[in-house]
Amino acid sequence: MSEPKTRYRRGIEVLDPQVKPLTRYQRLDRVLTTVFREILAGSDLSVEAKDQRIHISLGSKGSWEFPTLELGLRSIGDLLEGNIGAVTTIEGECPGVDPIDQELLAGSSLSVSNFGGKVKVCWIRSLPEQEVQLKSRSHRVTHKGVRTLIQDGSNPIDLIRDALSASERIEKGSNLQLK
C-alpha cells in the first residue's frame, strides 16, 4: 500500500513489471481459500436472506450484509487477509441471478462448519406445517427440508453449490397447544 500523498509529499509508486497482477478469478480463489481456512480453524459460517440482502456471519469475526453471497465472501476474505481495514456497507439488493442467492431469497438458511477436518455444508428450508385437531388441543407438525454435504474441498462456493444438489430429507417436529 502506498502512503497518502500530501502537498509536500508526492512520491511516485513504481510497479515491478516482473510481478504479474492477479486476475479476478485468481484473487477470488485466494480470498475464498482464506475464508475456507477460517472455517477449518473452527469458525462457523451462517448465511440467510433478510430484506432482499444476504446476511453473513463468520463465528466471532462479526456479521455483515451484502447484495450477494459471492461478494460477501470476497469482502470477508479481504478483511481476513488484511487487505482492507473494515468491511464497508455495499448498497443494493440481491438480484437473485445465482442459484445460491435464489435459494437464500426463497427462505432457506445455510451453515458451513468444520466436521473433523472436512467441511459440513447444511441447507435448511421451512416447509408448510400441518395442524391436527384433537379433543382439547391442537397438534402442530412442522416440516423442515435439510440437505447436508460433508466433503473435502478448498472452495466454499463449490461446496455450497454441491450441497444444493444433495438429496433432501424431511425432518418433522411437533408442538402441542392447549386451547
For 72-81, write each residue's pLDDT tens digit: 888 888 888 8
pLDDT digits 0-9 by tens, 35-58: 888 888 889 999 999 888 999 998
pLDDT, residue 146, reads 92
Please give the residue that has the higher pLDDT: either 137 or 15.
137
* pLDDT above 90 coverage of the chain, percent: 18
Residue 61 predicted with pLDDT over 70 = yes
| DSSP collapsed to 3 states, 60-127 | HHCEEEECCHHHHHHHHHHHHHCCCCCCCCCCCCCCCCCHHHHHHHCCCEEEEEEECCEEEEEEEEEE
pLDDT, residue 20, reads 67
